[in-house]
């Protein structure tokens, strides 16, 4: 407490000196772990609340003093007249004053507003104009999705008529931040990394946490951290503001959470000018053929309902493309519809008109942008359970409540939208469709809140979303299509009423809707948290259980994360004092080891970070960096399972696909890959590609994805830098695998895309297990039996020679069976004892 007193006194002194705290922080800077220390000791601080409140009062007074002596600033922005006009129509403009007053008075403000009300694009501009970026500080905005970080920075730059060097973005692989950056959009993971470098985030004057309703893990952690950083900054006389923005009104997890904010932050609601949306439920709920149902509904809307854009919500990239393809077939550009549903032969006149007047859609819109944790499309292409199929019942009549008739000759302008789509393709949805055409955007969940598409009058909602699930016991991850929440369904419906009254067609019954959960649960409750725990430990937050999570993960999950990190050598072993109860174990605060710090410096999951640390120790760093970079990029091989439009394009694609399958086999058959498996395939492919100068042509000729190769190159650079900047760890003893690898009872299979598919290695290590139609191991590498006693002596049982007839006895071999064509393993991941002399 004395310290606190001292600190507040100090900052007062510096206040008087008007020295922006450069002196006052001297003492703290000598001890960089002090701030997290404060976090750690928080639990103990309850009794000092009175004192704290006094301090808070002091801080508030200080802030007022500061505000009072600050001139009211207004930084002019030179916007184009049409931009200014469009801005003025946004509901948030009416609240500018209220928002800015609250921001001035409070450390933290929560802002709720319907999607499209202008939160993301306008609030940074308000802050900029109010001078929050004029005295050296940056206005930082975090987004859970890369798509949003990039597209919003472009949009705000355009609106403000400022170059991208001023309104910039930073995502894991790339960015355009400069010394002049004033507004910086970034993914939440990027900001978390920055907190590791500078706990006080001194370069920011304001941090905006956008899309907080999505409850992405990093967003949650950032809010927890910022709830401590912001008061600390203000105590130090380095004012900082936090704005939490949400598209739903459900913000109690932030505001009513006493562990986060002792005084609840004010909540400002932006009333969106929302037009009525009529919701139509299906009578029946299709079991799995919702893409077919969606297609039918779009056809009906387009044929029978008056003009207005259509927005369709599906669950994944493959579905999106499949529906786009069917729509383009059903409604090729032509002035008159001959008959519907199937591929039609255009009349000569129609063909001519098509070529003349209508733009062709670029079908090659697939892109391989890597996606941050939390993006719903990471698995794109793996589990394509696109279940279209039933014949179209074209005799159906549209819903009777629409009297107006549509003009059937209107062309349909079909655009896909999903996270992995290249930014320039995504941008298309924001421009008006070709004159006279009806816009139809077939999207994944990305269109639910992150991006607002203008001109949508009809929404078709399949009621499902694809989410990554982790099995806590087995550690198996899978992408599953599940029902959305009622909140999500209403968000989706709301997209139809932005510019005029609209209609939402739910491809499920009202009874099914009634069974939806009210809100989507926070991501942190659905995934392992080993990476987060490591990052927190690196911030010297030892008692992770005491961290002010908006929604705390279960202690079970925290314990297993700590255990994984202990077995990876990233955390110190807890003292083995008797039998500890689970809760006590959870409270064990294992400090980070030097190896853990080295691992935390790498922007990859702890297991990969361990590989890198091992690679450094073994002197093969460039290879390990390459392998890790390639493993992080989901798919390095070209996959022509993509839609084509015309017959000739289809034929071309089919040819390419066959060639790619062949190329894949060729890569798998190179050198070490045959014995060792997929990691060597990656290494070989990247090496060859780099040797050839990483050209587009080389990739095309060899079945590699050019974009993936560029990303790998970028990540290699990043990892190499991270390697250089972190201290080398010497003397640490590394092991190869981990103790807490989950126990798996079900058979697992080698993925057909693996180089080891149809081979029968005795031992393997895998990158991950993905459940699609079967439990598949991906990224499989063979392990030779004789490595195990060397690398994993703790798993081996060494017995006297006379007891063991053969020099090697591996009980595991006895369990390997052949099951029809597929390799069938019954594997106990706790390696069985190996007897040897
Ligand atoms: O964040 P919030 O959902 O509240 O709204 P926003 O993303 O700031 O969008 C405000 C408006 O800007 C919407 O009407 C969008 O349609 C429009 N906008 C646009 O026209 N082009 C973009 N690239 C981004 C937004
Ligand atoms: Mg937004």
Global ipTM: 0.98
**Lowest mean pLDDT across 65-79, 110-124, 764-778, 801-815:** 801-815
Q: Ligand 1: distance of its center to the CA of 115 in Å? A: 8
Look at residue 43 and tell me whether its pLDDT is greater than 60.
no
* Closest Cα to atom 18 of ligand 1: 452
**38: number of CA atoms within 13 Å, CB side?**
21
Look at residue 699 and tell me whether its pLDDT is greater than 80.
yes
Compare 139 and 774 and report the one with higher pLDDT: 139
Q: How confident is the model at residue 12 (pLDDT cuts 50, 70, 90)?
A: very low
Look at residue 341 and tell me whether its pLDDT is greater than 90.
no
Candidates 84, 88, 94, 118: which one to mutate for ligand 1, based on the most atoms within 8 Å of Cβ? 118
The pLDDT tens digits of the residues spanning 449-473 come to 877 888 999 999 999 998 877 665 5
Q: How confident is the model at residue 427 (pLDDT cuts 50, 70, 90)?
A: confident
Q: Report d(CA 310, CA 318) in Å as an integer.
A: 19
**Lowest mean pLDDT across 170-174, 226-230, 832-836:** 832-836
Q: Report d(CA 216, CA 211) in Å as an integer.
A: 9
Compare 17 and 736 and report the one with higher pLDDT: 736
| pLDDT value, residue 243 | 98
Q: Ligand 1: distance of its center to the CA of 152 in Å? A: 8
Q: Whole-structure pTM over 0.80, yes or no?
A: no
Look at residue 308 and tell me whether its pLDDT is greater than 90.
yes
Nearest alpha carbon to residue 285 among 496, 516, 513, 492: 513
Q: Report d(CA 470, CA 478) in Å as an integer.
A: 6
| pLDDT value, residue 55 | 52
**Lowest mean pLDDT across 139-143, 217-221, 244-248, 789-793:** 789-793
Sequence-distant (≥ 6) Cβ neighbours of residue 353 within 8 angstroms: 334, 335
Look at residue 766 and tell me whether its pLDDT is greater than 70.
yes
Across the range 696-713, mean pLDDT stands at 86
Look at residue 150 and tell me whether its pLDDT is greater than 70.
yes
What is the end-to-end Cα distance of the chain in Å, rounded?
63
Q: Are 159 and 175 in contact (CB under 8 A)?
A: no
Look at residue 116 and tell me whether its pLDDT is greater than 90.
no
Look at residue 139 and tell me whether its pLDDT is greater than 60.
yes
Q: What percent of the chain has pLDDT over 70?
A: 68
The pLDDT tens digits of the residues spanning 368-413 come to 222 232 333 332 222 222 222 222 222 233 333 343 455 557 899 9
For residue 449, give the ligand 1 atom closest to its CA: 3
Mean model confidence pLDDT for the chain = 74
DSSP 671-711: TTHHHHBHHHHHHHHHHHHHHTTS-HHHHHHTTB-HHHHHH
Place of tokens 């053929």: 289
Asked whether 121 lines ligand 1 (CB < 6 A), one says yes
Compare 348 and 104 and report the one with higher pLDDT: 104
Shortest-distance ligand to the CA of residue 82: 1
Look at residue 755 and tell me whether its pLDDT is greater than 80.
yes
Q: Ligand 1: distance of its center to the CA of 43 in Å? A: 42
| pLDDT value, residue 574 | 76
Nearest alpha carbon to residue 493 among 275, 288, 211, 272: 275
Cβ atoms < 10 Å from Cβ of 570: 28
Asked whether 606 lines ligand 1 (CB < 6 A), one says no
The pLDDT tens digits of the residues spanning 656-684 come to 667 766 777 777 766 666 677 888 888 88
Sequence-distant (≥ 6) Cβ neighbours of residue 141 within 8 angstroms: 120, 124, 149, 152, 183, 184, 185, 186, 207, 208, 210
Helix or strand run (H / E) with residue 482? strand 477-483
Nearest alpha carbon to residue 9 among 189, 279, 205, 235: 235
DSSP state of 28: H
Across the range 532-557, mean pLDDT stands at 88
**Lowest mean pLDDT across 54-58, 119-123, 294-298, 637-641:** 54-58
| pLDDT value, residue 576 | 62
Q: How confident is the model at residue 280 (pLDDT cuts 50, 70, 90)?
A: very high
The pLDDT tens digits of the residues spanning 85-98 come to 999 989 999 999 99
Q: Ligand 2: distance of its center to the CA of 439 in Å? A: 22
What backbone torsions phi and psi does residue 467 show, to the nearest 5 degrees?
A: -130, 150
Q: Report d(CA 432, CA 448) in Å as an integer.
A: 19
Q: Ligand 2: distance of its center to the CA of 443 in Å? A: 17
Helix or strand run (H / E) with residue 588? none
Look at residue 30 and tell me whether its pLDDT is greater than 50.
no
**Range from 49-53, 227-231, 551-555, 680-684 that averages highest in pLDDT:** 227-231
Look at residue 590 and tell me whether its pLDDT is greater than 60.
yes
Shortest-distance ligand to the CA of residue 114: 1
What backbone torsions phi and psi does residue 510 show, to the nearest 5 degrees?
A: -65, -30
Q: Report d(CA 492, CA 469) in Å as an integer.
A: 22
Look at residue 33 and tell me whether its pLDDT is greater than 60.
no
């Amino acid at each position: 407490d004395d310290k606190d007193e001292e600190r507040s006194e100090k900052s007062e002194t510096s206040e008087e000196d008007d020295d922006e705290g450069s002196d006052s922080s001297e003492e703290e800077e000598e001890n960089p772990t002090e701030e997290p220390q404060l976090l750690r000791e928080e639990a103990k601080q309850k009794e000092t609340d009175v004192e704290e409140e006094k301090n808070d009062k002091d801080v508030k007074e200080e802030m007022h003093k500061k505000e009072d002596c600050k001139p009211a600033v207004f930084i002019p922005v030179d916007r184009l007249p049409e931009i200014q006009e469009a801005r003025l129509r946004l509901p948030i403009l009416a609240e500018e004053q209220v928002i800015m007053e609250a921001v001035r008075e409070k450390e933290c403000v929560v802002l709720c507003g319907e999607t499209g009300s202008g939160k993301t694009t306008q609030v940074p501009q308000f802050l900029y104009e109010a001078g929050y970026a004029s005295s050296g500080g940056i206005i930082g905005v975090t987004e859970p999705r890369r798509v949003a970080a990039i597209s919003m920075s472009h949009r705000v730059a355009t609106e403000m008529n400022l170059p991208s060097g001023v309104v910039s973005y930073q995502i894991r692989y790339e960015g355009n931040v400069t010394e002049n950056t004033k507004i910086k959009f970034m993914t939440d993971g990027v900001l978390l990394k920055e907190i590791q470098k500078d706990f006080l985030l001194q370069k920011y004057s304001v941090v905006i946490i956008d899309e907080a309703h999505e409850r992405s893990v990093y967003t949650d952690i950032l809010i927890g951290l910022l709830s401590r950083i912001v008061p600390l900054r203000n105590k130090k006389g380095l004012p900082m503001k936090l704005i939490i923005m949400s598209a739903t009104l459900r913000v109690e997890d932030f505001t009513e959470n006493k562990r986060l904010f002792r005084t609840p932050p004010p909540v400002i609601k932006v009333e969106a000018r929302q037009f009525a949306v009529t919701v139509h439920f299906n009578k029946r709920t299709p079991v799995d053929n919702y893409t077919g149902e969606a297609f039918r509904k779009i056809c009906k809307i387009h044929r029978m309902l008056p003009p207005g854009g259509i927005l369709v919500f599906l669950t994944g990239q493959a579905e999106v493309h499949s529906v786009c393809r069917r729509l383009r077939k059903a409604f090729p550009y032509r002035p008159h519809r001959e008959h519907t549903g199937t591929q039609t032969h255009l009349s000569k006149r129609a063909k001519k008109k098509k070529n003349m007047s209508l733009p062709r859609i670029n079908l090659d819109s697939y892109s391989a942008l890597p996606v941050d944790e939390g993006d719903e499309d990471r698995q794109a292409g793996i589990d394509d359970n696109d279940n279209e199929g039933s014949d179209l019942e074209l005799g159906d009549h549209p819903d009777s409540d629409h009297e107006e008739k549509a003009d059937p000759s209107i062309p349909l302008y079909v655009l896909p939208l999903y996270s992995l789509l290249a930014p320039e393709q995504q941008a298309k949805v924001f421009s008006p469709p070709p004159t006279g055409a009806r816009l139809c955007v077939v999207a994944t969940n990305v269109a639910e809140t992150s991006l607002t598409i203008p001109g949508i009058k009809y929404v078709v909602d399949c009621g499902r979303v694809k989410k990554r699930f982790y099995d806590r016991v087995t550690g198996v991850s899978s992408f599953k299509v599940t029902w959305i929440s009622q909140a999500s369904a209403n968000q989706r419906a709301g997209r139809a009423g932005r510019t005029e009254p609209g209609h939402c067609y739910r491809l499920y019954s009202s009874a099914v809707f009634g069974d939806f959960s009210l809100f989507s649960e926070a991501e942190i409750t659905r995934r392992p948290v080993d990476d987060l725990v490591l990052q927190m430990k690196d911030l010297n937050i030892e008692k992770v259980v005491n961290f002010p999570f908006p929604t705390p993960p279960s202690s079970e999950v925290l314990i297993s994360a700590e255990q994984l990190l202990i077995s990876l050598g990233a955390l110190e072993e807890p003292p083995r004092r008797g039998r500890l109860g689970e809760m006590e174990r959870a409270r064990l605060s294992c400090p980070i080891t030097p190896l853990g710090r080295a691992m935390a410096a790498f922007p990859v999951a702890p297991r990969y970070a361990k590989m890198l640390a091992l690679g450094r120790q073994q002197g093969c760093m460039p290879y390990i960096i390459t392998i890790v970079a390639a493993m992080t990029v989901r798919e390095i091989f070209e996959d022509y399972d993509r839609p084509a439009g015309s017959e000739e394009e289809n034929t071309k694609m089919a040819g390419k696909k066959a060639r790619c399958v062949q190329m894949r086999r060729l890569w798998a058959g190179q050198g070490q890959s045959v014995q060792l498996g997929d990691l060597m395939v990656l290494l070989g492919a990247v090496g060859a590609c780099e040797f050839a100068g990483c050209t587009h042509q080389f990739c095309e000729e060899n079945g590699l994805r050019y974009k993936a190769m560029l990303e790998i190159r970028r990540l290699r650079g990043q990892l190499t830098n991270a390697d250089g900047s972190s201290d080398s760890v010497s003397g640490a003893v590394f092991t190869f695998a981990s103790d807490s690898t989950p126990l798996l009872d079900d058979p697992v299979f080698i993925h057909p895309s693996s180089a080891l598919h149809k081979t029968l290695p005795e031992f393997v290590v895998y990158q991950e297990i993905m459940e699609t139609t079967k439990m598949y191991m991906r990224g499989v590498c063979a392990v030779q039996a004789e490595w195990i006693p060397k690398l994993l002596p703790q798993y081996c049982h060494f017995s006297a020679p006379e007891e063991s007839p053969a020099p090697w006895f591996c009980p595991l071999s006895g369990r390997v069976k052949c099951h029809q064509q597929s390799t069938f393993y019954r594997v106990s991941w706790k390696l069985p004892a190996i007897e040897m002399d």
